[in-house]
Amino acid sequence: MHCRAGATGLLLRAPDVRRRPLVLLQCGGNLWEDRWGVPGGPHHSDENPAQAALRDAADQAAVDPGVARVRGALVHQPGGEGWSFTSVVADTTEPLPLRPHPAELAWVPEDDVAELDLHPVFAAIWPELRVTEIGVVVDAANVVGSRPDGWWKDRAGAAERLQRAVAAAGPGVFPCPQGGFGWMASPVLVLEGAAARAPDVPGVEAIRAPGVGDDTIVEIVSVPGAWLVVTADRALRARLPPHAHPVSPSAFLSWLGA
């Protein structure tokens, strides 16, 4: 087993009690000497970046690979072409307990990371790794209709199942179609027609459209800000303002089931 000319690190996030992102950091360890960074180490030639990052995180921070949901990766070359650092971006549904370790470990609020004494390599790439909260509106009818699972027999039941899947996924990191990563804290599901009879599910905001669901979605995202709209409906996509970006139902369902 050989080491490649580079290293990987697991940038793991979890929601706090107010659904805001926390970042798992360590001071010391294989890479960061006596400064703060993320669990990581050399990238072995027989593993991909996610495998390497999860291996190091399991060893250094007792992160169970089975609960870390990998959302993507960013490759940086802070020292030129001869060496690279791959940040594997992942999340969990809640902060994992920290075990005693020679390297200090801490869950740090996203906004406080830059205030720490960061290792120069991690400090240089942190601005690209930050997440900001994004608004996500789900065209529930379009998402439910993307899978031929018998939803037409019970539209309200299908809408309830989608709500429960969203609630179980909880807040997390979402790869943005325009690049980078956002923090999805509280997705909004727009229900229409028979699906509007679905009961409320704790942890999910459901809005029942008084008429056509598309009109309600366009009204919601007309407010300035960073918005993602989950739909494959071409007519709805054409009506979205420039600051609202469409996401396919398949990408959203893959996020739910990661």
* The two structure tokens encoding residue 9: 């690190």
Are the beta carbons of 190 and 213 closer than 8 angstroms?
A: yes
3-class state of residue 173 by DSSP: strand
| Tens place of pLDDT per residue across the chain (258 aa) | 445 567 899 999 999 999 999 999 999 876 777 899 999 888 777 888 899 999 988 988 889 999 999 999 999 887 666 678 899 999 999 999 887 666 789 999 999 999 999 998 899 999 999 999 999 999 999 999 998 888 889 999 999 999 999 999 989 999 998 888 999 998 999 999 999 999 999 888 999 999 999 999 999 999 999 999 999 999 999 999 999 999 999 999 999 987
Residue type, 234: R
* The two structure tokens encoding residue 57: 């995180």
| Rounded Cα gap, residues 96 and 161, in angstroms | 27
Dihedral angle sign, alpha carbons of residues 89, 95, 101, 102: positive
Fold of 132-256: Rossmann fold (3.40.50)
| Rounded Cα gap, residues 39 and 198, in angstroms | 43
CATH entry 3.90.79.10 includes domain 3-129: yes
DSSP 8-class letter at 203: T
What are residue 74's phi and psi, to 5 degrees? -130, 135
Residues of the chain with CATH 3.40.50: 132-256
Beta-carbon contacts of residue 194 (< 8 Å; ≥ 6 apart): 155, 156
43-95 per-position pLDDT tens digit? 777 888 899 999 988 988 889 999 999 999 999 887 666 678 899 999 999 99
| Rounded Cα gap, residues 213 and 10, in angstroms | 39
Are the beta carbons of 1 and 46 closer than 8 angstroms?
A: yes
Q: What is the DSSP string of 112-135?
A: GGGGS-B-HHHHHHHHHH--EEEE
236-249 per-position pLDDT tens digit? 999 999 999 999 99
| Rounded Cα gap, residues 175 and 230, in angstroms | 13
What is the structure's pLDDT at 217?
Answer: 97
Distance of CA 233 to the CA centre of its chain: 24
* The two structure tokens encoding residue 213: 């669901």
Residue type, 34: D
| Rounded Cα gap, residues 141 and 187, in angstroms | 15
| Rounded Cα gap, residues 196 and 51, in angstroms | 42
* The two structure tokens encoding residue 154: 């019970």
* The two structure tokens encoding residue 217: 């979605």
- Expressed in percent and rounded to 5, the helix, strand and coil fractions of the chain are 35, 30, 35
Residues of the chain with CATH 3.90.79.10: 3-129
